[in-house]
């Protein structure tokens, strides 16, 4: 009796921590649930990718079937479609400009908000915090008029990128400020004693050290811009459209060509997925940082 209790006590931590894969009943249930979650999560995506390898006849006959035979025509059709590449190119351009503006302006604004002491600092910071509440939707119609009529930037990359950057700034500043605050004060004091100005400190010490933070906000801004729909929808036409607009257009213009829509959509999501996989840690860290404040 006492021996078995002893045994339990000494064994319990080992089984819990060292052998995670052991097939106890609870583990089976957990893995079962995990499988269901994975299936429901990935199911639609995988179905779309596989659907691109089928013909419309196959899709209509057995909606839930596998490609039989596998057909490459849909994907080849999209990949040899110059419009697809034009849209991809536009998406890359708009997203890169947005990201560059957000990161540069964001880190500049976050620096005094984090490391200068001045009256009105918290008030200034609140401007950006309240900015989190402004959806682009609220301002979208005047924004459309401002950009197309007053600034004459309608149907240009920069006309989409600048407002997108402006709306991404609050999140950027809110994430970067605590990041810059966390860098130890001694660094700054040491730099000052060595004769560096605050601007010198910013360039030579703060920027290199805050690389990870800037990558995080950069990735978030890039993904948001890459996926954006509403602003490009209003501002871009014809050859200037981005990929999400292309996907939406293709699916309504070729509504009867389900397989083609699947192929186009699958190819359009590859860049975002690849980028996500490469930058996964950063995206997740950024979002978690935002939540933890």
Partner 1 sequence: MADDVTTRDVAASPATSPARGAAGRTSRVRPAAPARGGRRGVNSQLRKRLEIVFFVAPALALFGLFVIVPIATAVQMSLFRWKGIGPLVDFVGLRNYVSVLTNDVFTGAVVHNLVIVGLSILIQLPLGLAIALLLNRRMWGQSALRTIIFVPYVLAEVVAGVIWLQLLQPQYGVIDGILDAVGLGSPEQGWLGDPDLALWTLMVVLTWKYLGLAVILFLAGLQGVPEELYEAAQLDGATWWQVQRKITIPLLGPTLRTWGFLSMIGSLQLFDMVWILTRGGPANATTTMATFLINEGTERSNFGIAGAASVVLFVVALFMAVLYQQLILRRDTRPETGRN
Considering beta carbons, is residue 86 or 124 the nearer one to partner 1? 124
Position 62 contacts partner 1 (CB under 8 A): yes
Instruction: Please tell me the distance from the alpha carbon of residue 203 to that of residue 216, in angstroms, as a whole number.
Output: 19
Long-range contacts of 251-260 (CB under 8 A, 24+ apart): 256/56, 257/56, 258/51, 258/56, 258/59, 259/51, 259/52, 259/54, 259/55, 259/56, 259/58, 259/59, 259/71, 259/74, 260/74, 260/77, 260/78
Residue span binding partner 1 (CB under 8 A) among the ranges 14-22, 69-77, 81-89, 207-215: 14-22
Position 237 contacts partner 1 (CB under 8 A): no
Position 27 contacts partner 1 (CB under 8 A): yes
Position 71 contacts partner 1 (CB under 8 A): no
Instruction: Please tell me the distance from the alpha carbon of residue 260 to that of residue 253, in angstroms, as a whole number.
Output: 11
Instruction: Please tell me the distance from the alpha carbon of residue 38 to that of residue 293, in angstroms, as a whole number.
Output: 30
DSSP 206: I
Distance set, CA 59 to CA 51, 250, 252 (Å): 7, 18, 18
Which string of x and - marks every residue 98-137 that binds partner 1 (by CB under 8 A)? ---x--xxx-xx-xxx--xxxxx--xx--xx--xxxxx-x
The CB-of-279 to partner 1 minimum distance in angstroms stands at 10
Position 14 contacts partner 1 (CB under 8 A): no
Position 59 contacts partner 1 (CB under 8 A): yes
Sole binder of partner 1 in the list 78, 103, 173, 214 (CB under 8 A):
173
Position 218 contacts partner 1 (CB under 8 A): no
Can you tell me which residue has the tokens 């057995």? 62
Can you tell me which residue has the tokens 């990735």? 219
Residue span binding partner 1 (CB under 8 A) among the ranges 11-19, 80-88, 92-100, 209-217: 11-19
Position 41 contacts partner 1 (CB under 8 A): yes
Instruction: Please tell me the distance from the alpha carbon of residue 72 to that of residue 80, in angstroms, as a whole number.
Output: 12
The CB-of-55 to partner 1 minimum distance in angstroms stands at 13
Distance set, CA 154 to CA 48, 52, 143, 248 (Å): 34, 34, 11, 20
Cis peptide before 56 (omega within 30 of 0): no
Instruction: Please tell me the distance from the alpha carbon of residue 133 to that of residue 102, in angstroms, as a whole number.
Output: 18
Sole binder of partner 1 in the list 8, 229, 239, 254 (CB under 8 A):
229
The CB-of-1 to partner 1 minimum distance in angstroms stands at 17
Position 265 contacts partner 1 (CB under 8 A): yes
Considering beta carbons, is residue 146 or 183 the nearer one to partner 1? 146
Sole binder of partner 1 in the list 94, 97, 103, 165 (CB under 8 A):
165
Using alpha carbons only, how large is the chain's radius of gyration in Å? 26
Site for partner 1 in 79-98 (CB under 8 A): none
Considering beta carbons, is residue 106 or 218 the nearer one to partner 1? 106
Residue span binding partner 1 (CB under 8 A) among the ranges 31-39, 69-77, 78-86, 208-216: 31-39
């Amino acid at each position: 009796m006492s021996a078995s209790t002893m045994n339990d006590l000494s064994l319990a931590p080992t089984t819990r921590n060292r052998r995670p894969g052991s097939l106890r009943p609870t583990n089976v249930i957990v893995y079962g649930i995990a499988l269901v979650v994975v299936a429901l999560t990935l199911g639609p995506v995988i179905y779309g990718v596989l659907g691109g390898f089928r013909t419309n006849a196959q899709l209509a006959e057995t909606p839930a079937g596998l490609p039989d035979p596998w057909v490459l025509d849909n994907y080849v059709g999209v990949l040899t479609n110059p419009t697809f590449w034009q849209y991809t190119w536009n998406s890359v351009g708009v997203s890169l400009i947005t990201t560059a503006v957000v990161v540069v302006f964001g880190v500049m604004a976050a620096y005094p908000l984090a490391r200068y002491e001045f009256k009105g600092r918290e008030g200034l910071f609140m401007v950006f915090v309240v900015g989190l509440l402004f959806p682009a939707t609220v301002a979208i119609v005047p924004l459309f008029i401002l950009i197309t009529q007053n600034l004459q930037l309608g149907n240009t990359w920069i006309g989409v990128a600048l407002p997108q950057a402006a709306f991404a700034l609050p999140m950027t500043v809110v994430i970067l400020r605590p990041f810059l605050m966390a860098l130890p004060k001694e660094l700054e004091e040491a730099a000052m004693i060595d004769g560096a100005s605050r601007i010198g400190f910013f360039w030579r010490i703060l920027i290199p050290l805050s690389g990870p933070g800037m990558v995080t906000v950069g990735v978030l801004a890039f993904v948001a811009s890459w996926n954006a729909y509403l602003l490009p929808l209003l501002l871009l036409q014809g050859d200037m459209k981005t990929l999400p607009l292309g996907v939406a257009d293709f699916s309504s213009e070729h509504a009867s060509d389900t397989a083609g829509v699947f192929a186009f959509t699958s190819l359009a999501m590859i860049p975002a997925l690849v980028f996500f996989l490469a930058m996964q840690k950063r995206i997740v860290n950024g979002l978690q940082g935002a939540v933890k404040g």
